Amino acid sequence: MSPPSVADLKTQAKRLRIALAAKGQTVSHSQALEILSVQHGYKDWNTACAALSKPNPLSFSVSDRVTGTYMLQPFEGEILSLSKLGSSGQYRITLQFDTPVDVVTFDSFSSFRSRVTCVITADGVAVKKTSNGEPYLRLKTSG
């Protein structure tokens, strides 16, 4: 799930005020914005507004459904965690595959992975590569 936009939070704040007013509780618009900011994990409205106003080159978020290839094998799965690694433009991502992926290409042997962690760039391609030069991981959103 992607974080809400500033406009989304303002719309939610308006709906919250209307819902609370219907129950006899008066909340100002700024109080509603503060409540929603904390609910979404920000310290306050100013912090939320600043964070959500920054352009996000990364098109992936925690709990997104994704497809792609891991060790050249196709997969479908979910993003369990995603964190930025300093100012390098790289991210550490952990994926849970719907079906375990066999990472060995040799026919007489298999090694299955159901959860992996990789370092990727903002376009969803792993930094590390296999011995034949292909990235460990290539992501695309499932929608």
Query: Same domain for 36 and 82?
Result: no
Give the percent of the chain with pLDDT over 90: 59
In a domain, 10, yes or no: yes
CA distance 108 to 116: 23
Query: Same domain for 72 and 136?
Result: yes
Residue 40 has pLDDT above 60, yes or no: yes
The token duo for 89 is: 């433009």
Query: Same domain for 48 and 110?
Result: no
112 beta partners: 102
Residue 61 has a CB neighbour count (10 Å cut-off) of 13
Q: Please answer whether residues 140 and 70 qualify as being in contact, where contact means their C-beta atoms are separated by less than 8 angstroms.
A: no
User: Stretch 93-112: mean pLDDT, rounded?
Assistant: 92
Domain limits at 132?
A: 65-141
CA distance 102 to 65: 20
Contacts of 9 (CB under 8 A, 6+ apart): 33, 36, 37, 40, 48, 52
User: Stretch 105-109: mean pLDDT, rounded?
Assistant: 85
Question: What's residue 112's pLDDT?
Answer: 94
In a domain, 90, yes or no: yes
The token duo for 111 is: 């090694």
- pLDDT interval class at 126 (50, 70, 90): very high
pLDDT tens profile 43-91: 899 988 887 877 656 678 889 999 999 999 999 999 999 998 877 778 9
Looking at every residue in the chain, the average pLDDT score rounds to 89
Q: Please answer whether residues 82 and 95 qualify as being in contact, where contact means their C-beta atoms are separated by less than 8 angstroms.
A: no
Question: What's residue 97's pLDDT?
Answer: 97
Query: Same domain for 83 and 130?
Result: yes
Number of domains in the chain: 2
For the stretch 82-87, contacts whose Cβ atoms lie closer than 8 Å and that sit 24 or more positions apart, written own/partner, are: 82/58, 85/119
In a domain, 58, yes or no: no
Find the farthest-apart pair of alpha carbons in the chain and give their distance in angstroms, rounded. 70
Question: What's residue 70's pLDDT?
Answer: 95
Query: Same domain for 29 and 86?
Result: no
Give the percent of the chain with pLDDT over 70: 92
The token duo for 132 is: 């034949």
Q: What is the DSSP letter of 133?
A: S
